[in-house]
Amino acid sequence: MHQSTQTQTQISEPLPLKPGMSGFAADWASDQRAFKNVSWGKAMMWIFLLSDTFVFGCFLLAYMTARMSTTVPWPNPSEVFALTIAGHHIPLILIAIMTFVLISSSGTMAMAVNYGYRRDRRMTAILMLVTAFFGATFVGMQAFEWSKLISEGVRPWGNPWGAAQFGSSFFMITGFHGTHVTIGVIFLLIIARKVWRGDFDQERRGFFTSRKGRYEIVEITGLYWHFVDLVWVFIFAFFYLW
């Protein structure tokens, strides 16, 4: 009895960690619970989103550095991004609508994931198509914004309202984000078509088709889409409201 208790005590005691980074790596590598139940596709999407977070973070940090270090006055976003509607000068109206549309798409995407795990093929496909429509609407409004500023003289190397870094920052940040939204719309259309055809129920072979009855790819698409929406919140706050 005494020997059994002693053995249990030895087992329950944590092993000593190695010093330095080797001990940190060994501790993480020994934890099976963190990644044991996560699929390969979902884990890879999280890794991709983490790397993309660093890229967008660098872009926003570069924008803030350029804005705070320039000696030339920075253009006022409320004036630059204003629209004249029915004779009224409305600041940031287009940006507000774009933000509302993109945030709304996160709601429809979350509902699509919910119906996907219920195996409701029809509602999942419809909600994904609605999400893709919102995304395409956002990209269309962004294209209108670009064409308006280009016609007013904004270029990557300068603009008529002040600091030359404004143009390069605007086209770089919004263009990179718009590319992500466009890729997301294409991906949504592909997966929605597969869901509508019943590829996940019939186990039809092809790209992005998982095991029978599994709609996990819908959730993986949702992770990407929610990330794109979250990044836009930071762009909206730092670029348009600051």
Residue 32 pLDDT exceeds 80: no
42-240: CATH, from 1.10.1270.20, 3.40.630.30, 3.40.50.740, 1.20.120.80: 1.20.120.80
Per-residue confidence (pLDDT) for residue 63, from 0 to 100? 92
Q: What is the model's pLDDT at position 139?
A: 97
Q: Per-residue DSSP letters for the chain?
A: -HHHHHHHHHHHSPPPPPSHHHHHHHHHHT--TTTTT--HHHHHHHHHHHHHHHHHHHHHHHHHHHHHH-SSPPP-HHHHT-EEETTEEETTHHHHHHHHHHHHHHHHHHHHHHHHHTT-HHHHHHHHHHHHHHHHHHHHHHHHHHHHHHHTT-BTTB-TTS-THHHHHHHHHHHHHHHHHHHHHHHHHHHHHHHHHTHHHHT--STT--STT--HHHHHHHHHHHHHHHHHHHHIIIII--
More confident residue, 5 or 86: 86
Q: Could you read off the pLDDT of 70-99 as tens digits, one per residue?
A: 888 888 888 888 888 877 788 889 999 999
- Show me where the domains of the chain are located: 42-240
Percentage of the chain surpassing pLDDT 70? Answer: 79
Tell me which of 101 and 38 has the higher pLDDT: 101
Average pLDDT over the chain, rounded to an integer: 83
